[in-house]
Amino acid sequence: MKKYTSKIEKNSIIPLSFYEQYAVKKGLRDDNGKGVLAGLTNISAIHSFDENDLPISGILEYRAINIKEITANLKLENRFGFEEITYLLLFGELPTADELATFTRKLAEKRQLPPDFVRDIILKATSKDVMNSISRSILTLATFDEKVGDLSLENVLDQSLNLIAIFPLLAIYAYQAYNHCENGASLYIHYPDENLTTAENILRLLRPDKAYTDIEAKVLDLALILHMEHGGGNNSTFTTHVVTSSGTDTYASVVASLSSLKGAKHGGANIKVAKMLADIYENVSNHSDETEISDYLHKILNKAAFDGKGLIYGMGHAIYTVSDPRAEVLKSYVKALAKEKGLEEDYQFYNRIERLAPDVIAKNHQIYKGVSANVDFYSGFVYQMLGLPEELYTPLFAIARIVGWSAHRMEEMLNMNKIIRPAYESVLSTKNYVKIEDRV
């Protein structure tokens, strides 16, 4: 295969200078992370620069409401918010108490799979890659839908609500099936409780005794809210816009977005963070020694430690410069959960790395914008404290982000009537065809 791959490399790698020559932004972003404007949206907004183009603390708004205000009010009122913010993102306004109760009940009623689906689909051909298992289940569910190709807004909304409701089941059952078939673990399939929230049901479905504490469920609820939506330009949501513009059905659209999200540079990043931090914890003898921690971070950046990639995962973001508001919100809850779990020293260890890493990165690399902890830095720690298996880290992201995908799919359907097709410039000179007997 090597002779074939060498041909691919020879004829496919484009010199970096060409991108400058043709004024093409790699990744469709400039050095400051500002993206090429590809569309308009009413669903969410991300702000990292002020009107003078100076970097500011990151701001994330859901339907024009600051995420910090949303989460602060939920914390103040000590209640769950996933269902309420799902309503906000899908319908564009906050629900009344009656509207929220009706909507929550509707989602609960939809939280069920077709008869024998777990036995006939999920328990067969299990995979450690839960994201692939979810994709297979979704495409199979399309065969149960007599209106699979109906692109009316009403039908797409109904399909979206069905998928939002059952995503936790598809993810957790897929993990349990794999863990049973491949690792010999006991198999238990709990049914969801209609009286519980999405976050509570996730913990109930996953744990053998169905038990969880209030703070565990509240922190998971918060993590889901923070991952629900992040503008139309993130890779998986842009995928939603692209495939929706082609006129495909809801199930195909969601599977395409799932395939994007599972990438290590997108939804799989929190696993990398968790592995890296475990590596640092193991190789740093004194977890309070900031000099020793900094030295090891330098080794990671110099490709002399961890995975040899030269990256400190969980640090920096494509868009945010000064700070990621999602990380700031999550961190405030992480401290309380760590206290309940007796893991305050681990929390302080994370805190030291968060504080030291930006300075280490600045000393090792030329950087064009600020570097701070992103939401993945703390989400992996949250999932560890909740005892969630690593195989479910990215699926949990999907359980949340399908809300944003659904809102963007419907927005694309309502506002665009052209298939998305950007241009790529060929950098080759024209060649003549050579007959086979003349080739050398």
289 catalytic residue (yes or no):
no
Tell me the three state secondary structure of residue 168: helix
Q: Are residues 314 and 226 in the same domain?
A: no
Q: Are residues 101 and 172 in the same domain?
A: yes
Structural domain range at position 114: 81-262+395-415
Q: Are residues 249 and 322 in the same domain?
A: no
Question: Does 14 reside within a domain?
Answer: no
Question: If we measure between CA atoms, which residue out of 78, 77, 70 comes closest to residue 44?
Answer: 70
Confidence at residue 156, expressed as pLDDT on a 0 to 100 scale: 98
Question: If we measure between CA atoms, which residue out of 68, 100, 78, 70 comes closest to residue 87?
Answer: 100
Q: Are residues 87 and 196 in the same domain?
A: yes
Question: Does 44 reside within a domain?
Answer: no
- From residue 344, alpha-carbon distances to 273, 335, 383, 418 in Å are 19, 7, 15, 53
Confidence at residue 53, expressed as pLDDT on a 0 to 100 scale: 84
- Does residue 373 contact residue 111 with C-beta atoms inside 8 Å? no
CB atoms near residue 387 (< 10 Å): 12
Q: Tell me the per-residue pLDDT of 403-438, one tens digit each, with 9 for 90 and over.
A: 999 999 999 999 988 999 999 999 999 999 999 999
Q: Are residues 119 and 215 in the same domain?
A: yes
- From residue 74, alpha-carbon distances to 122, 225, 402, 440 in Å are 35, 11, 21, 71
Question: Does 250 reside within a domain?
Answer: yes
pLDDT of 368 > 60? The answer is no
Which listed residue (241, 324, 376, 408) is catalytic? 376
Confidence at residue 367, expressed as pLDDT on a 0 to 100 scale: 61
User: How many CA atoms within 13 Å lie on the side-chain side of 245?
Assistant: 16
47 catalytic residue (yes or no):
no
**How many domains does the structure of the chain reveal?**
2
Q: Are residues 170 and 242 in the same domain?
A: yes
Q: Are residues 211 and 283 in the same domain?
A: no
- Does residue 86 contact residue 228 with C-beta atoms inside 8 Å? yes
- Does residue 161 contact residue 198 with C-beta atoms inside 8 Å? no
- Does residue 27 contact residue 33 with C-beta atoms inside 8 Å? no
Lowest mean pLDDT among 21-35, 65-79, 169-183: 21-35
Mean pLDDT along residues 69-74: 97
Q: Tell me the per-residue pLDDT of 192-231, one tens digit each, with 9 for 90 and over.
A: 999 999 999 999 999 999 999 999 999 999 999 999 999 9
Say which residue, 367 or 146, is predicted with more confidence: 146
**Strands of 65-66's sheet, edge to edge?**
44-49, 55-62, 65-66
Which listed residue (317, 324, 346, 408) is catalytic? 317
Mean pLDDT along residues 3-16: 93
Report the DSSP beta bridge partners of residue 46: 60
Confidence at residue 366, expressed as pLDDT on a 0 to 100 scale: 63
Mean pLDDT along residues 17-40: 87
Question: Does 201 reside within a domain?
Answer: yes
Predicted TM-score (pTM) of the model is 0.94
The token duo for 272 is 């990398």
Give the rounded percent of residues in the chain with a pLDDT score beyond 90. 84
Residue 298: pLDDT band by 50, 70, 90 thresholds?
Answer: very high
